[in-house]
Structures are given as C-alpha cells and as structure tokens.
A and B are shown apart, each in its own frame.
Chain A
Amino acid sequence: MLMVKNPPSASRRERTSSHDGFLRYRNFRWAKIAAVICGISIAAYLMIDVQPHPNGGSAEGYVLGTIGALLILWLTLLGVRKRAMTRGRWSLKAWTSAHVYLGLSLIVIATLHTGFQFGWNVHTLAYALMMLVILSGIWGISMYGALPKALSDNREMMTETQMLEALRSIDRQLHEAAQPLDQENADLVQSSLEQDPFGGGLWARLTGRYSNCSTRAAQAELRRGAAFRPKLADDPLDRIDSLLERKGSILLRVRRHLRLKALLEIWLYVHVPITFALIAALSAHIVSVFFYW
C-alpha cells in the first residue's frame, strides 16, 4: 500500500543519487530556454526590416542591446554567487547551468544587436571582448569535460604531495650517488638537481614541452661519456643513469599533471579579467551612445 502510494519517492531517490551535471541540469532546461530566446531574436531580426540596414539603434536593436547588457551583468554575478552554495531551484548548479546556456545565447543576441556592422571602435571592442569571454568559457567547459579523466589516469592515485615527495627523494638519491663523481659529471647531476621542476614558464606548462630539461640533458651527456668506457662492476655512473631515468619518468608524470591542470585553469585567466574589460567597454559603449545621442 505504502509503495503504491508513494511511487515518486523511489524515482526521486534515484534522481538525486545519479549525478546530474550542470550541463544536463533538469534535462537541459536552460538550454531550451536559451534556444527559445535565440529563436525569437532571429525571427524578429528577419521579420523587421530596418532601413537602410540593421543597426543597434532600431527598436529591436534597443531591446536586444538592453537584454544583452543585463544578461552580461547577471552572468558576471556568477562570480559572486558561486561563493555561496545552496540547493533547490536556485541552486548553484541551476545557476551555473543558466550561466552557460544564457551566456551562449548572448552570441546570437549581441551579434544581432550589432546588425553585422563592425568597425574599429569601442562598440566592436565590446563585442569582441564579449566573444572572447564566451569562447574562453566554451574552452573551459570543454576542458572540464575532457580533462579530469586524463588527470586522474595520469596521477594513478598519486597525490600532489606524493609527487613532490617522489621528486625530493630521487634528488636526494641522485645527490648521494653523485658524490664520488668527477667534477664534470657531478656538474651534470647538479644541473638536474638545480632545475626547478615547476619552472619553464606558461608555454611549457600548456604544451608539456620542456626543451631545456636538465635531467634529460644530463642523462644523455652521461651516456655519451660512458659509451666507450669499459664496463665496471659497481660503476656509480650506472646507478646515476638509472636514477636519472627514474627522475625522468617522475618528471614526465608531474609535467603531464601540470599541463592538464594548466589547461583546466588557463581559461579562467581569460574569462574573468576579460569579463571586467568587457564591462568597462560596455559601459563606454552605452555612455558613448547616449553622450553623442
């Protein structure tokens, strides 16, 4: 009886237990809303014949411009909103979902607002900045979709602390093992020790290419020097070589980790500051329109 009376409870439990990301929130509710807004805007744009050609000063231009400006301000508020997590209809997830899809609809709204008139002026600057913000957002979302699995695969249950500790350990061992070496080889090992595994700049981070990796250079150089030397039992250079090999593989993992994290983070360094640049340009745009009305 009870089961029959309350069948929704089961489904509710099911729904809450399954993860429903902000993109699929409520079966793409906000995607649909955004699509409707875009559809109406496009239809209105096509139906209203603005002479001599469409521009932001027509009736539809004003409406689209107002909607666009308000939307930009609201979208910016996610930065404030995300610091307070709540549940329910106005949960952060709902808010984020709306942020994503309404942000995308801005492409249509603002482009129609321009009437496809572009030039070297503050108005097009605002538009370009807005597109930059949206594109960086799209980039960010696609990275969030693609990278976490790669990140986790690469870590293989290793934490960042453990990665750092592994580096320190291998460095200690290298240092220890290199003590008997002559100065030339010792310098090679030293160069590996002295290089900052987190260095290399933004470009190296994003590409994962560290062309001046001292560890690899030291290993190659040591091998070159050892190539024609007779093999000795218990040669410290052999030990150094295997340690450098190990350090190389640890570095590879760390650098892949760094690259993936950099790809995950970099968009926000565009998205957030350019949003503020956009709001500044938008203000200038609006003021200028009314200033020289």
Chain B
Amino acid sequence: MGFKIITIARTSEGREIPREKLVPGDQISVGRLSENDVHLADLAVEPRHAVIKETSPGRVTVDSISGLGFGFDGRTVMHAEIEPASTGAELRFGNHRLKLGSDDGTIAITVERVEALSDSAEEKDQQTVFTIRGLLPGKRVSAYTFVALILAAFLAWPIYTYASAHGEKIRPAGFHGDKTWETGALSKAHADLENDCQACHVDAFVAVRDDACEACHTDAHGRAATGLQRVAMTGPGRPGPAAYDHAPEKLLAVARGGPDNLGGRIKAFFKHSFNKPEGRCVDCHTEHEGAGPMPATQQAFCADCHNGLQGRLQSAGFKSAIGSATDFGLQHPPFKPLILAGYDTAHPVPFAKRDARSGGNPLLGWQMQRAVMSGPIKMPDGLKFTHAQHLSTSNGIAEMWRNVSPGQGPGMDCEDCHKTDPSGTRYQPVRMETACQSCHSLGLQTIGGTVRQLPHGQPAQVIADIRAFYGSGGSFRPTGLPIARYTRARPGEVNAERRSADLARAAALLPGKGDALIRATFAPGGVCGECHTVGMGGPDGVRIAPVAQPTRYLRNGWFDHRAHINLDVRGADGSRRWGCRDCHAAEKSNTASDLLLPTLTTCQACHTGQNGAHTAQLVRSGTASSCAMCHDYHADEGAPWVLKRKGRKTEPANQVAMLQVRWR
C-alpha cells in the first residue's frame, strides 16, 4: 500500500534530478495546488485535478474530479483503470507526464515536465527567429522555382509547339505556346494567320523569307498559287494581292549601297551577324505592329536608292539606263515613254488580229521602244493626220466643221475625236467610225435614200464593192472624167447623196469595171489614201499600212487625265486656262508623226516634287508631289497605292484639295 512519487527535474545541461516522496494510503490527489500529493506546477492542470486510487492490490483507478480530463494512452478520458504492475501506463496532465509502474509492491509514479512552460522558453535559433526566414519560401528555392516555371512556359513550351507543328501546312486551332512570343497582333489582312506562327516563321533561327510571302502573294501571271489554298482553307479569306518585283535582285543589291550613317551600320551589323538578309518583303512590310489595317509601308525613301543610282549601277558594271532621281521638282530623269518603233514588216500580223473592233490588238506586230523625251519626239503611227490643221478655226476643215456641227464652236476641239475610257484616266484610241467618218465619208452609192458605205478596214471588200457597183451597171464608156476627184466630199447626207449620184453618173461612163476608181480610192489623196499609206499588191490587192494608237506611254509612272481636266487654274483675266492644249502642243503640230506627250518640264511647272516648291513656274505654290503620286514600289498596271488609298472616286474632296492651285 502506498505510492512512491518520483519527480524528475532537469538541469540546464539536461541531466535528470529525481526526487522521491512516499505517500502512504490508497489514494493520492493530483493537481496544481501545492496541497496535492502530486503537485504539478502547470497552468494547464486544474488546482484539484484527479484522484488516483488503489482499488485492489495491483489495481489502480484514476478519476478526474475537476471535470477536466487527462491523457491516457493518447486519449483524453475522465476515468481510467490501470494495472501498474503488469502493464504500466502513462498519464498526461497538462505539460506533465505521469508514468505509473510498480516498485516493490508500491505504486511508483514518475512525474516529469515534458514541455516548456512557455513558448518563449522553448529553444529558439536566435539567428533566424528575429528574421523573416521561414515566413516566406527561401530566396534560393523561389529563384529556382521561378526560373524553372518561366523557362518551361515561355521557352520549352513554345519550342515544343514549333517542333511538333514543323512542316504542317496549317496548324490546328487552339492556343499554341509560341503565341507568348508574339510581339504584337498581326494586321487585319493577315489576321487569319494569327494562330499560325509558322506560316511565316518557317524555320527556327531563319529570318522570314520571301518564299513565305509568295506562298500567298503570287506574281501577276498567276504562278501556281499553292498558297491560295491556305487562304481558302482558313475561312472567308481572299487570295492575297499579287506581289511584283521592283527590280532584279542583283540591281537592288547594288542600288541600295552601303549604310551611310551610324544607325544604318549598327542595324547592318546585327542583320549580318544574325543572318537577316537585306531586301526581303518584310523589310518594308513590317508586321506585328498591332491589329487594324496594315500600316503604311515605311517610307524607306525612294531616294535612298535612286539618288545617285545611275553612278552606283554603272560602277558595279550594270548597263542600266535608269537615271538618278531625288525629287520630282529637283532631279528626275526625262520621261521615257514606250512608243511605236515601226511595224515589223518581216513578221506581219493579219489585220483580223489587229482589228480592235473584233477584239484584236492594234499593237500586235509593232516594235516598241523606250524613247527618251528630252524634247519633242516623233512617233509614226501609220496615219497621215495633222493636229494643227484639224484644230484650226480658219481653214477649210474649220469651215466644214461649222457646216456639219453648227454651234459647236469655230473649229474642232480635242474631245470631238478623243474620248476617255470609262474611268477617265486615259483616252481611248480614236475610232474612224465615230470620230472621222462624219467628214471623211466612205459613201459609194445611194440606193433608195440609203447611202451605201465602203467598209472601213476591209480593203478587199472595198475593191469588191466597187467592182460590184460597176458590175450592176450597164455599159460603161471611158471618159477619163472626175474619178480622180473621187476623194472627199463636203460632209452631210445631202452632199453624200449628191456625190454618189455624181459618181454613179461618172462611173457609168467608165470602162474597165472600176479599176480606175479602185486605184483612185487607194491613191494618195483618195478616200483611203488620204489618211492611210497604201501599197499595191498582196492577196487583197492593196496593203494598208498598219495603224496603232498606244493608250499608255508611261508604263512605270501613272498619269490620270481625270485629275487634270477639272483644274481650276485661272489666269489674270479670270478665264480658265487649263486644257488639253496646255500640255499637248497639238495646235502647233503640223507633222503626222509628232508625239504630243508633254515633257518633264511641262509637269514640273505645277508638280514641284516634295522639296522643290521654289521651282514652280506656273503656279504660286507647287503641288506637293512625292514619288508615290505617280510611282509604286511594286508597280502594276493600276494606279499607285497612294492614289488608290486616297479613295479618289469616293472622295472628290481629296481631289479638290489636291488641285487647288493658284495662278502665279
């Protein structure tokens, strides 16, 4: 009977100091108050916490008397029965541990504090406890984590995307890792490619090549357009606009010259070091500049190459005739119109193929050449036509005109013959039927009030018609009379009838089935020979020299008549001064072969370039005319991009603003 209470204290070095106390009796109390047999100086223990009672030898019950439990085998209980001798037990009161055992028949209770009395009393690492170490992930750990995450998300994933889709024609929809590399949205035109980096960035570490552009932008002649499929396949896209070359690549390389300033040299260094060739489409057509329309091609000024171009080309051994240009008002080579250079008689083209009325091309068979317009030049076009004669207000032609078209002015005007094409840009070839024939009648015979016309453009038919005319008549006797004068009659129906009656009468007297009349018709001064050069022979019996009227002479530049016809340039007397004849010296042209194209100087009177305002002669302030007003880098048959972009047709205000020039 009795309890042995062993209290263990520890020195600061951790050595145990046990103290023993024997308590007789079969019951002891446990609590915080010192009156308890097991006194636990522990605030987590009730003042009178529990009673330990030996109910029978070797058997102990522990009962809480405070309403607060105690720990027994890891659980909190209010009552426990223990056989210390056989099993022993551990009780937990607050921060203390009571170990129950048996010692020589007495019940031994070993009491030990197992936790520090306060948190601050616990062992603390003074090096770290005052710092924020431990409150945050360590610097090294977070650094490595960040590096791993970023490299995985922004390097490994995009490269994986590239590698897994390499060679695919069109990448599947969905988010691709390399989108995180995109520096800016693609323009509206290329928005279809937004998800498909490799449409342009074909190979890793290889700068975007022109091939990628040409996959969609094919040349004018519709080279097998593999890329068009892409556009069609990705949705409501259009085939890209065609891409044209500006000049042969070799010429371009020479023309560009070396970088002439520090910035250029730096950029050239980077491009050279990192394999970024010059002269690619994307040099000018920059992308990833943000959604919306593609930004205007950067003004890598024409003059960068064209200033001193001739010298550079020549010193590189090219025999190019391209002149140097800096500004239209200051330095620009003379116009070089593409003109007719004679009909290639060695390789004649049948008239049927040249006849515009049946869809032929009158220029077929003609040799063309670029002429240099440093002054007025000649271009025989097969017709015997003089402008001065026709524009006179005092000669016979004027008189005839006043007869035929009363009230239409004292003489003919340009637009009586020259008609513009539907766009108004340039003039259509003059047509015999509509322009000339009202005066230059081809009437042969009047039958029942209808004038029988010789067919224009069909000499064999003309001959046949004349022979038929004679064939249908009675007997003919030679008179040698006015057939030679079967030339031109005064215009008008009355005159035509009168003349055909004359002809019929005279012809009735002629022998030889009209041979004389045929000869007269084609002879110089005859109905045909008056305007055409005619040779005899050939399958048709006669050969009419081919006639051609080019509609466009300046192939690399753009000239728009419509922009000029409404010019409000007023002279000092207030009269309008600007018309066809101000540029085209038609009134003074007495030779059929005069090419009435204006020279550069004529244009420069108003168009002073971008920097040459002081050179304006005709107007007070020059019309600012940069290269792009007439030229495109990728020139095609159409108007320059700048003009098209201005929306000339839809916005006449643009035109007016452009044309408001004042008389000097």
Which A residues are closer than 8 A to B by beta carbons?
A: 48, 51-53, 55-56, 58-60, 62-63, 117, 119-123, 125, 160-161, 164, 167-168, 171-172, 174-176, 178-183, 186-187, 189-190, 193-198, 201-202, 205, 257-258, 261-262, 265-266, 268-269, 272-277, 279-281, 283-284, 287-288, 290-293
Contacts and interface: CB of A to CB of B under 8 A. Distances in A.
A265 B132 CA distance: 7
A63 B268 CA distance: 12
Contact of A123 (B118, B126, B183): B183
Nearest to A60: B263
Given A63-B266, A205-B135, A281 B130 contact: no
Nearest to A195: B119
B298 interface: yes
B276 interface: yes
Nearest to B124: A164
A276 B275 CA distance: 30
Contact of A179 (B32, B207, B289, B298): B32
A119 B155 contact: no
B47 A183 contact: yes
Interface string B32-51: 11100000010110110000
B644 interface: no
Given A119-B183, A284-B151, A198 B68 contact: no
A171 B118 contact: yes
B298 A52 contact: yes
A176 B66 CA distance: 21
B180 interface: yes
Given A160-B130, A273-B146, A280 B151 contact: yes
A152 to B, nearest CB: 14
Contact of A175 (B117, B263, B299): B117
B275 A293 contact: yes
A257 B130 CA distance: 8
A119 B186 CA distance: 13
A112 to B, nearest CB: 14
B500 to A, nearest CB: 71
B628 to A, nearest CB: 14
A162 B207 CA distance: 67
Interface in B116-141: 117-121, 124, 126, 129-132, 135-136, 139
Contact of B181 (A178, A182, A280, A291): A291
Interface of B: 32-34, 41, 43-44, 46-47, 66, 68, 117-121, 124, 126, 129-132, 135-136, 139, 142-147, 149-151, 154-155, 158-159, 162, 178-185, 197, 201, 204-208, 262-264, 266-267, 270, 274-276, 286, 289, 295-296, 298-300
A292 B130 contact: no
Q: Is the interface of A mostly helix, strand, loop or mixed?
A: helix
A290 B205 contact: yes
B131 A292 contact: no
Contacts of B130: 160, 198, 257-258, 261
A59 B259 CA distance: 12
Lowest 3 CB-CB distances: which A-B pairs, in order? A51-B298, A277-B146, A171-B118
A274 B299 CA distance: 41
Nearest to A206: B132
A53 B286 CA distance: 10
Given A284-B154, A291-B162, A293-B206, A276 B146 contact: yes
Contacts of A265: 131-132
A189 B136 CA distance: 30
Contacts of A205: 132, 135
Given A117-B183, A171-B120, A195-B119, 4 more contacts: A164-B120, A167-B120, A277-B143, A291-B204
A121 B286 CA distance: 19
A259 B183 CA distance: 42
A51 B299 contact: yes
Contacts of B68: 183
27 contacts: A51-B300, A52-B298, A59-B263, A59-B266, A117-B183, A119-B182, A119-B183, A119-B185, A121-B183, A125-B154, A164-B120, A175-B41, A179-B33, A179-B34, A205-B132, A261-B130, A261-B131, A265-B131, A268-B139, A269-B132, A277-B147, A277-B150, A281-B154, A284-B150, A284-B158, A292-B197, A293-B275
Contact of B119 (A181, A196, A274): A196
Contacts of B162: 291
B119 A197 contact: yes
Contact of B32 (A186, A196, A290): A186
Contacts of A121: 179-183
Contacts of B142: 269, 273
A291 B130 CA distance: 48
A53 B151 contact: no
B295 A52 contact: yes
B605 to A, nearest CB: 32
Contacts of B201: 291-293
Contact of A122 (B119, B180, B208, B289): B180
B117 A193 contact: yes
Contact of B184 (A60, A119, A182, A269): A119
B131 A183 contact: no
A63 B296 CA distance: 26
A164 B124 CA distance: 9
Contacts of A172: 117-118, 121
Which residue, A62, A168, A183, has most C-beta atoms of chain B within 10 A?
Answer: A183
A179 B43 contact: yes
Nearest to A191: B43
Nearest to A159: B126
Contact of A293 (B33, B205, B300): B205
Contacts of A274: 146
Contacts of B179: 121
A180 B154 contact: no
Given A179-B41, A291-B205, A273 B143 contact: yes
Nearest to A203: B135
A122 to B, nearest CB: 4
A117 B47 CA distance: 74
A189 B142 CA distance: 39
Nearest to A190: B43
Nearest to B115: A194
Contacts of A180: 33, 47
Nearest to A265: B132
Contacts of B274: 290, 293
Given A171-B117, A277-B147, A287 B155 contact: yes
Contacts of B155: 280, 283-284, 287-288
B289 A273 contact: no
Contacts of B264: 59
Contact of B121 (A58, A122, A168): A168
Contacts of A197: 119-120
B181 A292 contact: yes
B657 to A, nearest CB: 24
A293 B150 contact: no
A187 B68 CA distance: 12
Nearest to B179: A121
A182 B120 CA distance: 23
Contacts of B266: 59-60, 62-63
A237 to B, nearest CB: 14
A121 B276 CA distance: 23
Contact of B135 (A181, A189, A202): A202
A287 B178 CA distance: 12
Given A60-B263, A119-B183, A291-B205, A183 B66 contact: yes
A117 B348 CA distance: 64
A256 to B, nearest CB: 12
Contacts of A262: 131-132, 135
Contacts of A196: 119-120
Contact of A189 (B43, B159, B208, B300): B43
A121 B135 CA distance: 32
A202 B159 contact: no
B642 to A, nearest CB: 15
Nearest to A122: B154
A181 B42 CA distance: 11
